Amino acid sequence: MMPFVYQALPSRVIFGAGALDGLAEEVWRLGSRALVLCTPEQRHVAEEAARRLGDRAVGVYDRAVMHVPIDTARAAREEVSRLGADCCVAVGGGSTVGLGKAIALEYGLPIIAVPTTYAGSEMTPIWGLTEAGQKRTGRDPSALPPTVIYDPTLTLTLPPGLSATSGMNAIAHCVEALYAVDGNPIASLMAEEGIRALGRSLPRIVEEPKDLEARSEALYGAWLGGAVLGAVGMALHHKLCHTLGGSFNLPHAETHTIVLPHAARYNESQAPEAMARVARALGKPGDAPGALWDLAEMATASPYPNPRPVERDAVRALLEEALTGRRP
Ligand code: NAD
């Protein structure tokens, strides 16, 4: 076995349906005046979290947006000062957790993350801030949420399409961890298990978004994806998505979904062991990039009812005909 370094990151994880019930107790371990963060769309979930905190919640701040624009971070930091908050609860996806990290970086306040997507940011010390169209990222131990509450019931409302792409985002962390330059056997174990859990659960979620068992398995896979993203360095796939997303303001999870099978094919010949593990985890030995493509295709296929099966090439021809205005 090759020598390796494994750096564990300190975080306390509470996992399970109904885990949000323990929020007040978890806040109490870290502070007594919590500002609850969320996006405008998830305000009702954040309000429910604040209600559970009673007078330990000093407010709900619902301005989180993708890629943490610097003005949003500054406004949130001012709100923290104005209300005298001593910790934050970030209820939402990577955008909301990212806003919490921007506050933690400035003030050193602890963040209790309550993830509702599969992005995995809650398990990493990686922060991002966007200023004048440029996204800067870095690693700082103070950005790592000390406590993470994974409650799968909060993910039941994540629409099937976003569930699938967000899940592929988590799989991308796992795939790149398997050939990371600083990879190690522990991270690889977690990565393979993460791919297995997500590969099994995502198609079930697209079929039945309220399947709590599948939701639990996907969130477990997402946790593992976040853990390896925080533990080892990523490679070409993440670089491409970061560059494309930043340059063209593309949606994060969708970009990962589209690029991943092709990045895997690009690296396949130089990372045979990693690819064998990806393929094994997806139950399709021999063709990891193809298996990733099939999973993305299956998971993102819209179940919209239609008399004729919706076929890729035929729909492309339909759109071309419509674009040119030809008589059908
Ligand atoms: P997001 O947080 O932007 O959420 C997408 C949308 O889904 C939002 O409108 C949100 O309100 C909604 N939503 C979230 N959970 C929901 C639920 N359960 N039900 C219904 N709606 C829900 O998307 P994301 O993909 O989680 O995060 C993307 C951002 O996170 C990007 O900025 C990316 O760079 C960052 N990110 C950072 C890291 C890191 O380690 N720093 C890791 C992964 C992603």
For the stretch 92-139, pLDDT in tens is 999 999 999 999 999 999 999 999 999 999 999 999 999 887 888 899
Residue pointed to by tokens 């005046």: 33
Nearest to 237 by CA among 321, 170, 301, 291: 170
pLDDT of residue 243: 85
From the alpha carbon of 42, which atom of ligand 1 is closest?
11
The pLDDT-based confidence of 303 (bands split at 50, 70, 90) is: low
How confident is the model over 254-268, as a mean pLDDT?
Answer: 95
Task: Note whether 151 and 18 are within 8 A (CB).
Answer: yes
**CB of 92 closer than 6 angstroms to any ligand 1 atom:** yes
Sign of CA dihedral 146, 110, 16, 40: negative
**CB of 128 closer than 6 angstroms to any ligand 1 atom:** yes
Residue pointed to by tokens 């978890």: 26
Tokens of 61: 């701040």
How confident is the model over 229-239, as a mean pLDDT?
Answer: 95
> 291 alpha carbon to ligand 1 midpoint, in Å?
25
**CB of 41 closer than 6 angstroms to any ligand 1 atom:** yes
The pLDDT-based confidence of 310 (bands split at 50, 70, 90) is: confident
CA distances from 195 to 58, 115, 148 (A): 39, 19, 21
> CA-to-CA distance for 115 and 142, rounded, in angstroms?
18
The pLDDT-based confidence of 228 (bands split at 50, 70, 90) is: very high
Give counts: helices (H), strands (E), the chain. 12, 8
pLDDT of residue 141: 95
> CA-to-CA distance for 118 and 218, rounded, in angstroms?
8
Coil, helix or strand for 146? coil
**CB of 116 closer than 6 angstroms to any ligand 1 atom:** yes
The runs of H, that is alpha helices, within 31-154 are: 43-53, 70-83, 94-107
